[in-house]
Structure 1
C-alpha cells in the first residue's frame, strides 16, 4: 500500500500518516525531511535538489509507504506511484487552532517537533497557511484531476477517521 497525504500546516497530515503507517506497519516519510537535513543544535540545512529528489525516489521505490507533505513542484512521482492520495482540506479556522495548540504543546515539550519551535516559525505557519489556501490549494486541485480514481478529498477529521476505520476493516 502506497499512500500520499497532502494538506496545509495544521491539517493533520503527520498525525494521519503516523496512524496509517503504524496500522499497516509501513515506513512514514515527511517531504520536509527530504528538503532539510535536521540539525538538533542549530539551524536545519537545506539539501541540494539532487539529494532531495534522490530521497524521494528512494522512498517511492519501496513496496509500501506513507508520504506526507505540502511540497508540490517536485513530488509528482510520489503522487503518480501512490495507490491513494489523501487531500486534507480542513477549514482554515480549524487549522489555525491546531497551529496554536501544537506550538504550546511543543513549548511544553508534550509534543515533539522536527524543528526548533521558535516564535518566528510559529508566525510563519500562519503565512504558510494563507499561502496554501490562496495559491497552493488551487494548484493541487488541478494536479489531482489526473488521478480521480485515487484521490480522497476530506474536509473534516470525521471524514478522515471514517476512511481510516474503513481501511482498517479491509
Structure 2
C-alpha cells in the first residue's frame, strides 16, 4: 500500500503517519526531513533540490510507504504513485493550538527535535498555515488531477474509520 498524507502544520500528519505505519506495518517518511537542511545553523534553510528529489524518488520506489507533508508542487512522483492521497483538514484553531504546543514541548525539552525554530518562526508558520488551509489546500483539492484517490479527513474519528477500512 502507498499512501500520501497532506495537510497543514498541526493537522496531525506525523501522528497519523506513525499510527498507520504501525498498524499497516509499512514505513513512513516525513517530507520535512528531506525538504529542510536540518544541519544548518539557522532555522528555515532548504536542502538542495537535487538531494531532496533524489530522496523522494528513493521513497516512492519502495514497495509500500506512507509519505507525509504539506508540500504540493514537487511531490508529483509521490502523488502519482500513491494508492490514496489523504488530505487532513481539522479546524484551523486546533492546528494552531497544536503548533504552539509542539513549540513549547521542543523548547522545554519534552519533545526532541532537530528543528531550530524561534518564537518568530512559529508566528510565521501560523500565518503561513492560515493561508495554506484557507487558500492553497482548497485550490489543491479543486485542481488535483488525482481526485479519484483523494480522501478528505476532518477529524480523528474519520481517520480511525479510514484506518479500519484500509486494514479490512
Same fold (TM over 0.5): yes
Deviation at 1:46, TM superposition (A): 2.3
Change (3 A) 1:51 1:143: farther
Instruction: Give the aligned partner of residue 75 of structure 2.
Output: 75
Deviation at 1:65, TM superposition (A): 0.7
Instruction: Give the aligned partner of residue 118 of structure 2.
Output: 118
| Partners of 1:9 and 1:128 within 8 A in 2 | no
Kindly indicate whether residue 163 of structure 2 is the aligned counterpart of residue 159 of structure 1: no
Task: Provide, for residues 141-165 of structure 1, a one-character-per-residue CA deviation record: whole Å limited to 9, x for no partner.
Answer: 1343x22332110111211122123
Rounded Cα–Cα distance in structure 1 between residues aligned with 2:153 and 2:114: 25
Instruction: Give the aligned partner of residue 94 of structure 2.
Output: 94
Change (3 A) 1:57 1:143: farther
SS where residue 110 of structure 1 aligns? coil
Task: Provide, for residues 16-56 of structure 1, a one-character-per-residue CA deviation record: whole Å limited to 9, x for no partner.
Answer: 011111222222111112212322x8336522212111111
Alignment TM-score, normalising by the size of structure 1: 0.88
The number of residue pairs the alignment matches comes to 167
Rounded Cα–Cα distance in structure 1 between residues aligned with 2:87 and 2:143: 11
Rounded Cα–Cα distance in structure 1 between residues aligned with 2:114 and 2:65: 19
| Partners of 1:4 and 1:82 within 8 A in 2 | yes
| Partners of 1:2 and 1:82 within 8 A in 2 | yes
Gaps of 5+ in 1: none
Instruction: Give the aligned partner of residue 50 of structure 1.
Output: 50
SS where residue 151 of structure 2 aligns? strand
Rounded Cα–Cα distance in structure 1 between residues aligned with 2:79 and 2:150: 10
Alignment TM-score, normalising by the size of structure 2: 0.89
| Partners of 2:29 and 2:66 within 8 A in 1 | yes
Rounded Cα–Cα distance in structure 2 between residues aligned with 1:114 and 1:81: 29
SS where residue 74 of structure 1 aligns? coil
